[in-house]
Structure 1
Amino acid sequence: MGVLDKFRVDGRRLMVTGGSRGLGRAMALAIAEAGADVILIGRNQETLVATAEEIRALGREVWTIAADMADPADCERACRDALAIPGQIDILINNVGNREANIPTEEMPLETWQRLVDLNLTSAFLATKLIGGSMLDRPGPARGKIVNIASISAIIANRGIHGRHYEATKAALLHFTRATAADWAQRGVNVNAICPGLFMTDANKRWNELKPEVIRTFVDQIPMGRPGNPEEIGPLALYLASPASDFVTGSAYVIDGGYLIW
């Protein structure tokens, strides 16, 4: 096997949450291009259909499941629907998450906090439990791969912005990654994390409209002088999803244009 062959995922199946837009879409397309079939989970039926068509154009099979992953019951239902599709899931990307509220801690209602904890953290727990759990102790050489999309906000507190649920949940997701990796290292499943910096997804474009000074301050602190494009995360996700990373587990990969250097 040549080195580039180790990045192929032919015959494998990916499930990605929040997979129809932004970073989720970019990672789904990259891994599909390398040979995987894809299960997309997201809230918006229109964008699910659009991204599914892009994946089919690459010659891959694709299934879509509409669900609100911030609702634990709906999240669990979506995971069980994915497992009911004939064939096994080999790669899980826990991508769904967002900073949906810019509310100071002292003003945040408990119900808002809980919903956002469920969106950013509980969804990853449930998908790891159900989808990742189905990967454990499989016979044969194929290894299960889990990639959790954390954030540099797991490591730092952002300037000029409220809603510290995001930093808290992403930090928890990062340590959940490490702990699960330790538990499952000898059971055939690799668990790693990606910590993106500022990427101009639709969500961040909306932030730029609402609070352009926050985005401008962030970009000014990036040594490369620009935000990332969603497509730039695809190759890193493919590496962690592919046999190229078989000896990598419990690791967190920062992709931020150098923001954390300073």
Structure 2
Amino acid sequence: MFPRGLARACPRYISPLLQQTTRTTPTIDRPIDAAPITQFRRIHQSPKRLSAPPTARGKLLPEFSLEGKVILVSGGARGVGLTQAEGLLEAGAVVHALDVLPVPDDSSDFARVVSRAKNELGTSLTYHRVNVRDEKALNEIVGAIANETGHIDGLIAAAGIQQETPAIEYSAADADKMLGVNVTGVFMTAQAVARQMIERKQTGSLVLIASMSGTVANRGLICPAYNASKAAVIQLARNLAAEWGEHGIRVNTISPGYIVTAMTAGLFEAYPERKTAWPDANMLKRLSYPEEYRGAAVFLLSEASSFMTGADLRIDGGHCAW
């Protein structure tokens, strides 16, 4: 049996195929081959981990704890973002999810996490509707959260969109929208959070969700604007880290590989060859799952990474290491 604290220490922006998309895809239960993370799920979903005595929890690495911290997650209403939010909650954080959806998740998943935060984890998950391209509304919401809680300690900037279109067919309007959400939206979200930290003279950690597609071009996946946007996010993080380091604000990126989501399941129906080609492109010969990025988020937002800034944490199964 694993103590609750260890589950908190091992905690959801982003694969090359993110949460917001222009195409409709079916929902899925447990797609592809879930065997590689069966043990992970058994550990992290077992009710037994909630009953560990406080004395046992206290002996675990305290630097991974997020207790008492207020963390925002943009794109946190569903999918990978919601998975990340749940991991932060398990690590003890108070989480505020920001998303463009009128209401969070059209399934019961968001409500489940809200209930779990309150009834099992002793914390809270709150939803705020906002478009990350709306600078005024974004600053108003982030400011209101800071005024209510007295501080903001971290951010996962995971809101993003994806569009697969050949470069020769890309319209200026589509390119502007892609860069507006994936780059400007991330920039303005980070800026709104950092502004509150600097005004209050508080330190913090910002995590921007990039992608392995910001480092390499995806073979067989034609996403020129998306890949360019993720490269921009990696470079943006370095520059923000350089400017805000003197204020004690750390800025890092996570670059995931291919993640199994409802959207990728829809793509596999349209392009069945990708179901085998994508796993074969990395060293582990499989796709990843949203839960496998929780620990990275907790690490970067906690004191466990206190001397880490301006870095990209690439988690791609070795895809870019060939």
Which TM-score applies when normalising by structure 1?
A: 0.91
Any idea what SS the aligned residue of 2:273 has? helix
How many angstroms apart in 1 are the aligned matches of 2:315 and 2:123? 27
Would you say 1:63 and 2:120 are equivalent positions?
Answer: no
How many angstroms apart in 2 are the aligned matches of 1:50 and 1:205? 23
Report the equivalent of 2:154: 91
Any idea what SS the aligned residue of 1:35 has? coil
Post-superposition Cα deviations, 1:178-236, rounded to whole Å, max 9, x if no partner, equal 11101111111000000000111222222222223234311111211111111110001
Q: Give the alignment of 1:221-240 within 5 angstroms.
A: 221-240=281-300
* Residues 1:257 and 1:223: Cα distance change in structure 2 (over 3 Å): same
Report the equivalent of 2:181: 119
How many angstroms apart in 2 are the aligned matches of 1:21 and 1:188? 31
Give the unaligned 5+ runs of structure 2.
Answer: 1-57
Q: Give the alignment of 1:39-54 within 5 angstroms.
A: 39-44=96-101, 45-47=103-105, 48-54=110-116
Any idea what SS the aligned residue of 1:186 has? helix
How many angstroms apart in 2 are the aligned matches of 1:206 and 1:43? 22
Report the equivalent of 1:29: 86
* Residues 1:98 and 1:207: Cα distance change in structure 2 (over 3 Å): farther
* Residues 1:229 and 1:120: Cα distance change in structure 2 (over 3 Å): same
How many angstroms apart in 2 are the aligned matches of 1:22 and 1:158? 22
Compute the displacement of 1:50 (Å).
4.8
The amino acid of 1:63's aligned partner reads T
Q: Give the alignment of 1:195-214 within 5 angstroms.
A: 195-214=255-274
How many angstroms apart in 2 are the aligned matches of 1:51 and 1:112? 34
Compute the displacement of 1:134 (Å).
1.4
How many angstroms apart in 2 are the aligned matches of 1:204 and 1:229? 11
Q: What is the aligned residue count?
A: 256
Post-superposition Cα deviations, 1:16-58, rounded to whole Å, max 9, x if no partner, equal 0111222211211111111110100123314154543343342
How many angstroms apart in 2 are the aligned matches of 1:76 and 1:2? 44
The amino acid of 1:253's aligned partner reads L
Compute the displacement of 1:59 (Å).
2.2
- Aligned 8 A contact 2:138 2:192 in 1: no
Any idea what SS the aligned residue of 2:98 has? strand
* Residues 1:123 and 1:196: Cα distance change in structure 2 (over 3 Å): same
Compute the displacement of 1:83 (Å).
2.1
Compute the displacement of 1:128 (Å).
1.2
What is the alpha-carbon root mean square deviation over aligned residues? 1.9
Post-superposition Cα deviations, 1:35-89, rounded to whole Å, max 9, x if no partner, equal 11010012331415454334334221221012333xx22x541342132130222
Return the index of the structure with the highest Cα Rg: 2
Please, which of 77, 83, 87 is the counterpart of residue 20 of structure 1? 77
How many angstroms apart in 1 are the aligned matches of 2:136 and 2:217? 31
Report the equivalent of 2:217: 157
Report the equivalent of 1:174: 234
Post-superposition Cα deviations, 1:118-164, rounded to whole Å, max 9, x if no partner, equal 1111111111111122112644xx63110000000000001122231
Identity of aligned residues (%): 30
- Aligned 8 A contact 1:92 1:132 in 2: no
Report the equivalent of 1:4: 61
The amino acid of 1:64's aligned partner reads Y
The amino acid of 2:191's aligned partner reads K
Would you say 1:250 and 2:310 are equivalent positions?
Answer: yes
Report the equivalent of 1:217: 277
How many angstroms apart in 1 are the aligned matches of 2:317 and 2:136? 35
